[in-house]
Structure 1
Amino acid sequence: MHRRAYLAAVGTAASAGLAGCSSALSVLEDDPCTGDNCHIGMNRTEFLPEVYEIAAGDTVVWKNTSEAYHTVTAYEALIPDAADYFASGGYESQTAAYEGWDDHGGQLGTRETFEHTFEVPGTYEYFCIPHEGAEMIGEIVVSE
């Protein structure tokens, strides 16, 4: 009888230990940004939230809240005409960002951030270069 109690206790402890590990990873993967440290988080293949609304002149901070490497890269043709292009790594065009990614330029590692100030009202679409095929895209809507 003592053996069964011992095995039950060990099994429960092992399960609890493993559950703690997986839940810690899950929190890291699914933890959207809150508070002042960032506005948009990133899980394995999503920006969280996917659509973010701000006023002209506001700065948006993205934070990689996952274990994967990500980028924040504007679709050059899908931002307002008068707007400044933006991409993690400081690239001035979508082509340059793609070329930079060949050497992992612009990548954001776990807990790294990127920020951009949006001066021109309109809709801005952006994506993550390594996860573009998985449709990791986002949208910033900037009002007057």
Structure 2
Amino acid sequence: MMLEKVTLDDIQIGVKAVDWKDAIIKSSKILLEKGSIEDIYVEEMIRVLSDVGPYIVLGKHVALAHARPEYGVNELALSFTTLEPPVEFGSENFDPIKLIITLAAIDSNSHIEMLGELADTLMNEKKVKALFDAKTKEEFYKILKA
């Protein structure tokens, strides 16, 4: 269970970003500092999003930032970043983005269970709204784990 491994150090609250590129860069900071990903991974997330469009936007106000494992993933990892103010990603139906979940998967299969766990969390609209509204890492963590 990957969500069980999430700690306070995997959460950023109220990050200010000038645009979606800046939001991706800032949301990747935790995984870069931990050594879970390399700089090329962040560059690839931005490149693909520029080329393909906002495919990482999962639903209303939520994006799952990720790229292919061969672009500098060192370990399976996950982080959460709330944006204040929210940022436009170019998704007509789901902008602006308030929460970026940054995923680093080491292969095509290792993250499948984690995505199932995330789906369960994200389908609970009340819980997601509470995550958006969390003012501290501790509050976000408590809601995520509930």
State TM-score, norm by structure 2.
Answer: 0.29
Bigger helix fraction: 2
Structure number with bigger Rg:
1
State TM-score, norm by structure 1.
Answer: 0.29
Which of structures 1 and 2 has the larger relative contact order (alpha carbons within 8 angstroms, sep 6+)?
2
